[in-house]
Amino acid sequence: MAKKAVKYFECSSCGHREPKWSGRCTSCGEWNSFVEKQPPRSQTSGGGSMGGGKTAAPAPVKLSDVESGEGRRISSGMSELDRVLGGGVMGGSSVLLGGEPGIGKSTLMLQAAGAYSRGGSVLYISGEEAQSQIKMRASRLGIQGDRISLLSESSAELCSQAIHSHRPGVVIVDSIQTLGTEESSSSPGSPNQVKHSVQIISEAAREVNACVFFIAHVTKEGAIAGPKLVEHLVDAVLYFDHSQGELRFLRASKNRFGSSDEIGIFTMDAQGLQEVGDPGRLFLSEAEELPAGTAIVPVYEGSRILMVEIQALTVPGKGGFGRVYSDMIDQRRVNRVAAVLEKHANLRFSDQDVYVNVAGGIRIQDVGTELGLAMALYSARTGMPLPAATAFCGEISLSGQVRSISHLRRRIQQAGELGYGRIVAPTRDASRNNRRMRRRMIGREAVKHRL
């Protein structure tokens, strides 16, 4: 039997809920802040009311009878953005774009608005900047804007009304931190207000089959809500991040309609964000001869192979103790690979300070970089440069073996195309597990042999 939906009481200051009214909120300590709330209609009515206080039991539908929600994808005209969204944004879906203030979120969305407006109308809701500022930026970016409407509004209910009356194809909200609802009395930007507002605007967008992008600043813990708070309310979550250099990376951390391991690469100049469509050599330094401590690795990122230069440096640690300093590759991975070398290649790392970096400042998580990392560490510790035109890839087990990795063929092909004629790698592609792998030891002898 369907449960009867019950009223609840919500703290208007922090959003904390209680089944009974209470004089003081146990969560934020505010007095007389509880207000009675009705659960949303969708929770009370289930499959439809039968009246007389009874509700019908919800009727499950056979999966085979469900209409496919396969909507059309809308291209932004920016291939790097489309790539991260899985080939374009899905009509009627909601996307969260997070990133630090100043990273370029508004610029990216304004450029995307320019492209989307060629195929339909765009509503750009901004509580952040004056319309004249947006206009100036659009002019600088060469965006015409005759199908882009601007709205300076922070009330979620009024935004929802504007979406219903304007019926755009794409809605952009810049940013969630400026939003508030009239229903709740807490201040705009507070966690409860932001969650509520995102729900109201997403619902309005869904009703008119528009896709909606919510811009969200990554904030330090505090009174203002960050993007994490609403990640579960949207279909896709993208984060904009920058490298040590000029590059900006767009990554999907959640994507209901596609892969979440794609990466989009941009640079920022006076004409806005420029896409880096072919990042083949982007993460290699210019030097002809590689110094000791440097190894070239084909890294699998999303659907692309990037050739990346891993750099390592070792110096004696103070008092005979060493530490690992590595921002771009997980320190635990560096520690583990160094421990394997210490055990199987007879090299001491535990008394060394080990610095690891990746040229171009891209953060890498691909397990296939471990052999390259081991070679960079080996080369740094021994002072012997690695052979020219050689790339390394493979996973390293604790027993010192090089294990198979995925997409080996494509890695070899990409390395070859960029002039790395020799590749040291496991003998089997992990994505093709029908062949037996010949494991190689990377003991001292084997490493010496290759050097």
**Residue number with CB closer to Mg ion (154 or 369):** 154
Residue in the structure block whose two tokens are 């070899």: 412
CB of residue 150 vs ligand TYD: minimum separation in angstroms?
Answer: 15
Binding site per annotation, positions for ATP:
99-106
List the single partner that 6 binds among ligand TYD, Mg ion, none, CB under 5 to 8 Å by kind.
Answer: none
Listed residue (268, 275, 277) closest to 107, CA to CA: 268
CB of residue 286 vs ligand TYD: minimum separation in angstroms?
Answer: 24
Asked whether 324 and 352 are in contact (CB, 8 A), the reply is no
**Residue number with CB closer to ligand TYD (161 or 271):** 271
List the single partner that 104 binds among Mg ion, ligand TYD, none, CB under 5 to 8 Å by kind.
Answer: ligand TYD
CB of residue 157 vs ligand TYD: minimum separation in angstroms?
Answer: 25
**Residue number with CB closer to ligand TYD (65 or 269):** 269
**Residue number with CB closer to ligand TYD (106 or 186):** 106
**Residue number with CB closer to ligand TYD (223 or 270):** 270
Among 140, 164, 228, 332, binds ligand TYD (CB under 6 A): 140
Judged by CB under 6 A, does residue 298 bind ligand TYD?
no
Applying CB under 6 A, which part among 39-47, 69-77, 269-277, 295-303 lies near ligand TYD? Answer: 269-277
The count of chain residues that interact with ligand TYD, using the rule CB under 6 A, is 15
Binding site per annotation, positions:
99-106
Judged by CB under 5 A, does residue 106 bind Mg ion?
yes
Asked whether 250 and 264 are in contact (CB, 8 A), the reply is yes
Helices (DSSP H) in 119-239: which residue ranges? 131-140, 156-166, 191-207
Say whether the peptide bond before residue 175 is cis (omega within 30 degrees of 0).
Answer: yes
**Cα-based angle 118, 120, 125 (whole degrees, multiple of 5):** 100
List the single partner that 180 binds among ligand TYD, Mg ion, none, CB under 5 to 8 Å by kind.
Answer: none
- Give the dihedral sign, CA 426/432/433/435: negative
Among 2, 14, 268, 384, binds ligand TYD (CB under 6 A): 268
| Three-state helix/strand/coil letters over 287-310 | CCCCCCCEEEEEEEECCEEEEEEE
Strand arrangement of the beta sheet that strand 324-326 belongs to: 324-326, 352-358, 304-316, 294-301, 390-392, 422-424
- Residue 400: both structure tokens together: 């010192």
**Residue number with CB closer to ligand TYD (174 or 370):** 174
Judged by CB under 5 A, does residue 107 bind Mg ion?
no
Write the DSSP string, 317-384.
PGGG---EEESSB-HHHHHHHHHHHHHHS----TTEEEEEEEGGG--B--GGGHHHHHHHHHHHHH-P
The radius of gyration of the chain from alpha carbons, rounded to an integer in Å, stands at: 27
Scan residues 65-124 and list those touching ligand TYD (CB under 6 A): 99, 101-107
Applying CB under 6 A, which part among 134-142, 149-157, 300-308, 429-437 lies near ligand TYD? Answer: 134-142
Sort 167 into a burial class: Cβ within 10 Å, 0-12 / 13-18 / 19+: middle
Judged by CB under 5 A, does residue 193 bind Mg ion?
no
Judged by CB under 6 A, does residue 130 bind ligand TYD?
no
Where on the chain is the footprint of ligand TYD (CB under 6 A)? 99, 101-107, 137, 140-141, 268, 270-272
Where on the chain is the footprint of Mg ion (CB under 5 A)? 106
